[in-house]
Amino acid sequence: MNILCFGEPLIRLATTGYERLEDAHNLEVTYGGGETVVAASLASQGENVAFASKVSANRLGTNSLMMLARCGVDTSRVLRSNERMGLYYSERGRSIRPSIVTYDRSGTAMAMASHTDFDWDRMLNGVDLFFFSGVTPAISEEMYMACKEGLYACRGRGIHVVCDLNYRSTMLEPSVALERMHQLLLNIDELIASEDDILSITSASISRGETFDYCHTKLKGLFLDYPLREACFVVRQSDRYDFGSFRGALLTRDGEYLSKTQRAAITDLSSSGSIFAASMVHAQCCKWDPQFCIDYATMASAYKATVAGDLCFATETELASLLADTAQPSIRQ
């Protein structure tokens, strides 16, 4: 299946170890962004992936595209401009201290782009599945229009559309985000979310023990108002000893499938929601049994939490083997 991811690659500047940004003397430079992480993960799992965007024509923009190309992602649909690259500063939390991400993305190539820059007839040629996240329509009014036009074009061509909610409160107020998602959901086939997205966009204040049921209720209710075929979510919870639990659910119009709870010692929770999304897309492209799909995606999210940084290059074989009910070697050699 040919997949097109639409989003904005960003420069990731991360503190060393568990340093706070205020204490840092050095920052590690890599590249990330929700759709970028998903595209790289899908390619690692064996999918044929292309990326559509508008990025800076400077060396930093070129480096971000080289990173995607090294992962096996086709970047021929990426436009270039003289505007800057977006940045985000990442500091890893530990124990009772949460991870913090600080964005600097005003005036970027995507933020300054027009919705008319994207020729969907050309970009969607040969595409079977279109993936984007809620971050892209939050970049600007123009990018919101670009997403709407892209979804209309997908609908007319019978292209399957998957959206990762990926809500960022620092980019849009909940009321504005909900209104934009209301319009976009009319042309989305599958919605993917994490507990952070759902709790933040609905401004919910609930106990940890109620989180899974709350997310389940919210996503299930969407089937009454929108033509969704499927919706899925993952709930990630960690304790003060950096030990985490991961549980997912896949909801369809015919039934629902709840994953096994996976537990892992956490190194870095960042992008574990994006890896969940990528792995769910891959599992469904493989036309696996729905129960195995949600178990596989949940395991992938837990696996990512053991990997530092935003990117995760776990393969299908690695992830599927972790679900096998057999003894596994502690050291592979």
What is the pLDDT, as a whole number, of residue 170?
86
What is the pLDDT, as a whole number, of residue 213?
97
Q: pTM for this structure?
A: 0.95
39: which residues sit within 8 A by CB, 6+ positions away?
3, 5, 49, 51, 68, 71, 73, 131, 278
Residue spans of the chain under pLDDT 50? none
What is the pLDDT, as a whole number, of residue 241?
87
What is the pLDDT, as a whole number, of residue 324?
85
Residue 139 three-state SS: helix
Q: Please tell me the distance from the alpha carbon of residue 144 to that of residue 136, in angstroms, as a whole number.
A: 7
What is the pLDDT, as a whole number, of residue 330?
65
Contact of 6 with 275, CB cutoff 8 Å? no
What is the pLDDT, as a whole number, of residue 332?
65
In terms of DSSP bridges, do strands 230-238 and 2-6 run parallel, antiparallel, or are they unpaired? unpaired
Structure token digits, residue 22: 């205020």
What is the pLDDT, as a whole number, of residue 331?
66
Q: Please tell me the distance from the alpha carbon of residue 300 to that of residue 310, in angstroms, as a whole number.
A: 13
What is the pLDDT, as a whole number, of residue 129?
98
How much is the mean pLDDT over the chain? 95
Which residue(s) pair with 161 in the sheet?
130
Element (H, E) at 29: strand 28-32
Contact of 277 with 36, CB cutoff 8 Å? no
Given CATH 1.10.260.40, say whether it is the number of domain 2-319.
no
| Residue 94 per-residue DSSP state | B
Reported as a single tens digit per residue, the pLDDT across 170-212 is 899 999 999 999 999 999 999 999 999 999 999 999 999 999 9
What is the pLDDT, as a whole number, of residue 329?
62
Q: Where are the domains of the chain?
A: 2-319
Reported as a single tens digit per residue, the pLDDT across 38-63 is 999 999 999 999 999 999 999 999 99
Q: What is the secondary structure of 201-250 as a DSSP string?
A: HTT----GGGHHHHHHHHHHHGGGTS--SEEEEEEEEE-TTSEEEEEEEE
